[in-house]
Amino acid sequence: MGGGMFFLVCLMLLAHSSILVRPKKLNDNSLEGKNIFILAGQSNMAGRGSLVPMPSECQRNPRILRLNAKLTWEEAQEPLHQDIDIHKTCGIGPGMAFANSILERDSARVGVIGLVPCAVGATNITAWQRGGFLFNQLVERAQAALRDGGRIRGILWYQGESNTDNLENVKGYKGKLETFFKDIRSDLKLPQLPIIQVALASGQNATYTEMVRKAQLEIKLPNVTCIDAKGLQIQSDKLHLTTEAEVRLGKMLAGAALKIMEHI
């Protein structure tokens, strides 16, 4: 075989191999019918649980998608926040266990789930107020998630540990949290958007943690549900949930979401 012919054959083989390894394109129908959930808050939502061994409840599923940092959909896998909470090492959070649990309980009705990671570790409630980077990023990502169709079914919110370090950070927490919920609904033009918030399992100061928890549990806004994480297992750092606890929380959030979806 001559040198030119050999080179041509090599090019053909290379082109053929690139086709074989090309990522599978997401089905347009799955994008149009997806049920979208926004994951927001700080580190216990972003996830700090160990990735090894990977819990069965957190395994990949082609019917669970993730909006990545480039605002495109891809098949979801842990860690969900790896390109969002970029200044920390992310691990298992509640997101994949949440989505897998919903599909396990009601796959026929739910179909495809789209997860939109927005949580960033060590963020005070003040950092989530309208006009700030985190608020604007959440709105941008939520709007991008709708471009291919689908419906935002709710926000999963777990934040507050950063407000438990001193009394000043506790003062006004309830008001700021309510304002955030109202403003995010307003900017997304979804006045009845369900919000499932998590009452703290841990904090930096026991007294202030209980004060933040009290504020969270007393929120009485329409379509705001509170899941109490108190009692879930905490890592040795006394702040972050263990992998097992994150999985448990994901299932708790799924139960709340399914109840809400029955009525909307």
b/e per residue 146-160 (b: at least 16 CB within 10 A): eebebebbbbbbbbb
Distance of alpha carbon 99 from alpha carbon 40, whole angstroms: 15
Catalytic residue among 16, 87, 236, 237: 237
Q: Give the per-residue pLDDT at 48.
A: 98
Q: Within 13 Å of residue 234, how many CA atoms lie on the same side as its CB?
A: 15
Residue 61 sits in which domain range?
A: 30-261
Residue 8 maps to a domain: no
Does some domain include residue 62?
Answer: yes
Mean pLDDT of 68-95: 98
Assess contact for 49 and 242: CB atoms under 8 A: yes
Residue 170 phi/psi, 5° resolution?
A: -85, -35
The pLDDT of residue 80 is above 80: yes
Q: What is the pLDDT of residues 190-242, one digit of tens each?
A: 999 999 999 999 999 999 999 999 999 999 999 999 999 999 999 999 999 99
Whether 243 and 218 have beta carbons less than 8 Å apart is answered as no
CATH code (residue 85): 3.40.50.1110
Around Cβ 106, how many Cβ atoms within 10 Å? Answer: 15
Question: Which of 43, 101, 162, 202 does the annotation list as catalytic?
Answer: 43
Our count of domains for the chain comes to 1
Is 209 within the bounds of a domain?
yes
Active site residue 263: no
pLDDT score, position 23? 38
Q: Is residue 1 part of a domain?
A: no
Given pLDDT bands bounded at 50, 70 and 90, which one contains residue 264? low
Range with the poorest average pLDDT among 23-37, 79-93, 140-154, 169-183: 23-37
List, for residues 22-51, the tens digit of each pLDDT value.
Answer: 334 455 546 778 999 999 999 999 999 999
Please indicate, yes or no, if residue 4 is contained in any of the structural domains. Answer: no
Q: Which pTM value belongs to this model? A: 0.89
* Residue 241: predicted pLDDT: 98
205: which 2 tokens? 């100061």
Residue 91 lies in a domain: yes
Residue 145, in any domain of the structure: yes
Examine the residue annotation and report whether 237 is marked as an active-site residue of this protein: yes
pLDDT of residue 44: 98
Task: Decide: helix, strand or coil at residue 101.
Answer: helix
Look at residue 3 and tell me if it is in a domain.
no
